[in-house]
Amino acid sequence: MNFLSNARRPDHGADDQQPLEAVIRPVTEADLADIERLDRAVFGSACYPAFVVRQLFDVHGHHMLALDTPTGLRGYVLLATARGWDTGWILSLGVEEPWRQKGYGRRLLSQCLRDLADRDLREIRLSVEEGNDAAVQLYRSLGFVPIGTRADYLGPGEDRLIMALPVAGAAGAAGR
């Protein structure tokens, strides 16, 4: 599956008003308190502290999208680039209950990847708990493949599966 051909373009830009239906839009500075609440609701004790949310936004806010619903922000995705800017890392993807299993996780990630179309990236990577079937299935369906398991990757006992998505458009640039 080629995410570039299947992903959607943004529904519309950021808006100060609450949307009448769920939309995916860029995160703004005004959203940071909501993102922190959302991250805590989705990831519990593994959530990012407020200062990390702020600093991630300052550095990577141009690759941060939110699921904006009539009841507030209920999902978000964050990508950062690394290694000489040719590798992207999905640092966060979460959708709050009861908004899960409605296609929003896929839309968030697909749109985030689609927004990279004009970037000269070779690969997108992420780490995920091996038993996180929902996330692993979603990543596989978008073309990510496992490239190894790292013991204690996020700390003692926090093993993670690393998955990668080769960016087809950048393959030709491999030799440059």
Ligand X SMILES: CC(C)(COP(=O)(O)OP(=O)(O)OC[C@H]1O[C@@H](n2cnc3c(N)ncnc32)[C@H](O)[C@@H]1OP(=O)(O)O)[C@@H](O)C(=O)NCCC(=O)NCCS
Q: Which residues of the shown chain bind ligand X in the complex (CB under 6 A)?
A: 42, 93-95, 100-106, 128, 132-135, 137-138, 141
| Minimum CB distance to ligand X smaller for 19 or for 103 | 103
**Shortest reach from residue 133's CB to ligand X, in Å:** 5
d(CA 20, CA 136): 31
| Minimum CB distance to ligand X smaller for 103 or for 171 | 103
| Minimum CB distance to ligand X smaller for 31 or for 39 | 39
**Shortest reach from residue 120's CB to ligand X, in Å:** 25
**Shortest reach from residue 151's CB to ligand X, in Å:** 17
**Shortest reach from residue 63's CB to ligand X, in Å:** 16
HEC string for 129-155:
CCCCHHHHHHHHHCCCEEEEEECCCCC
| Minimum CB distance to ligand X smaller for 105 or for 143 | 105
Instruction: Give me the half-sphere count of Cα atoms (radius 13 Å) on the Cβ side of residue 57.
Output: 21
Determine the 3-state secondary structure of 86 from DSSP.
Answer: coil
**For the purposes of burial, counting CB atoms within 10 Å of the CB of 145, is it exposed (0-12), middle (13-18) or buried (19 or more)?**
exposed
